[in-house]
Structure 1
Amino acid sequence: MQMPVHIVAAGGFVENTKGEILLVKTRRDGHWVFPGGHVEVGENLIDGVIREVKEESGIDVKVSHLVGISSNTATYEGHSGVKTVPTKVMFDFVCEPVGGKLTISDETSDSRWVSKGEVLDMVSAPALRTRYQAYLAYNGSVHYMDNITKPQFELKLERNI
């Protein structure tokens, strides 16, 4: 048996006191997304999401609670010399802003606060839209989703745990 390899990522649904959600625009493809990314070697999930939100948006956050876990079980050809991208496991946290100032980074070309009702008009990726809808529907249970994103989005399993 081959030792399993997974990419671990953490994302933040950052909501301010006005009920607005923090979005960042990626430089790679120009899409609006929630801040987050790969957890680094030796880094825990909480520190990872705090770092990613700060790096991508300039906003300092405090993590409140876990709202969702998603497994992207598709494997596909990578880029930059990566032969195969393995399963990615993403942990979505609700975060509260505690400081900082909106900015951009090497990875983002824009960052802004968006009303909850306008988020789905800006976020186009089906997996991100599904994760945001789980955030909106949060009832105290963690939302679990198994999906593939390539060649096209397919939701394979969805449940609350």
Structure 2
Amino acid sequence: MSTPKHSVSVAGIVVNEDGRVLLIQRRDNRHWEPPGGVLELSEAFEDGVRREVYEETGVAVTVDRLTGVYKNMERGIVALVFYCRGGNKPAPVTSEAVQVQWMTVEQARAVMAPAYHVRITDALTPGVNVRVHDGINVLGA
């Protein structure tokens, strides 16, 4: 019997001077999410966050701290989410995003699935949160 495999991803909750968060509308499924993706085998966590945020938004960031660990129970993806600072103007579109925008927390709530919006609210509070979700909703909350 083989052991099930998990995928590890990283994401950045990028906050600018105005307190807005950087979001992408993904090209593949049109969902709004914080920028992020699969961590490469040779990457440190913070390096992966910087790379993913830059690739998906054109914004260079400083990674401050881990804010949460999230597991998509349906897909076996474990995501490490980090609070980041960045403020340069994002690219309007990228190879992975049909839109890239700075949004208020309220604007983000209106366009994001709860399982992804909670990453923003978690990042704006002290501590590290650990949650599981089904890809849309947080489970056991």
Separation in 2, partners of 1:98, 1:34: 15
Which stretches in structure 2 are left out of the alignment for 5+ residues? none
Q: Does 1:46 align with 2:59?
A: no
Which stretches in structure 1 are left out of the alignment for 5+ residues? 76-86
Separation in 2, partners of 1:3, 1:52: 28
Aligned AA (1:59): V
Describe the superposition over 1:112-160 as per-residue Cα deviations: whole angstroms up to 9, x where unpaired.
Answer: 111223210121x231022223223x22x210002223xx64504x6xx
Q: Does 1:97 align with 2:86?
A: yes
Aligned AA (2:18): K
Separation in 1, partners of 2:87, 2:109: 25
Q: Does 1:128 align with 2:116?
A: yes
Amino-acid identity (%): 32
Deviation at 1:110, TM superposition (A): 1.2
CA RMSD of aligned residues (A): 1.8
Pairwise mapping of residues 4-15 of structure 1 onto structure 2 (< 5 A)? 4-15=4-15
Separation in 2, partners of 1:11, 1:114: 16
Separation in 2, partners of 1:45, 1:147: 21
* Cα gap change, 1:133 to 1:27, in 2 (>3 Å): same
Which structure has the bigger radius of gyration?
A: 1
Secondary structure of the residue that 2:60 maps to in structure 1? strand
Contact 1:57 1:105 in 2 (8 A): yes
Pairwise mapping of residues 46-65 of structure 1 onto structure 2 (< 5 A)? 46-65=46-65
When normalised by structure 1's length, the TM-score is 0.78
Contact 2:39 2:48 in 1 (8 A): yes
Q: Does 1:117 align with 2:106?
A: yes
Deviation at 1:52, TM superposition (A): 0.4
Number of aligned residue pairs: 140
Separation in 1, partners of 2:101, 2:117: 17
Describe the superposition over 1:87-117 as per-residue Cα deviations: whole angstroms up to 9, x where unpaired.
Answer: 1110010001165x41122111111111223
Secondary structure of the residue that 1:129 maps to in structure 2? helix
Separation in 2, partners of 1:154, 1:67: 16
When normalised by structure 2's length, the TM-score is 0.89
Structure 1 ranges of 4+ moved more than 4 A? none
Contact 1:62 1:98 in 2 (8 A): no
Aligned with 1:148 (options 116, 134, 137): 134
Aligned AA (1:120): R
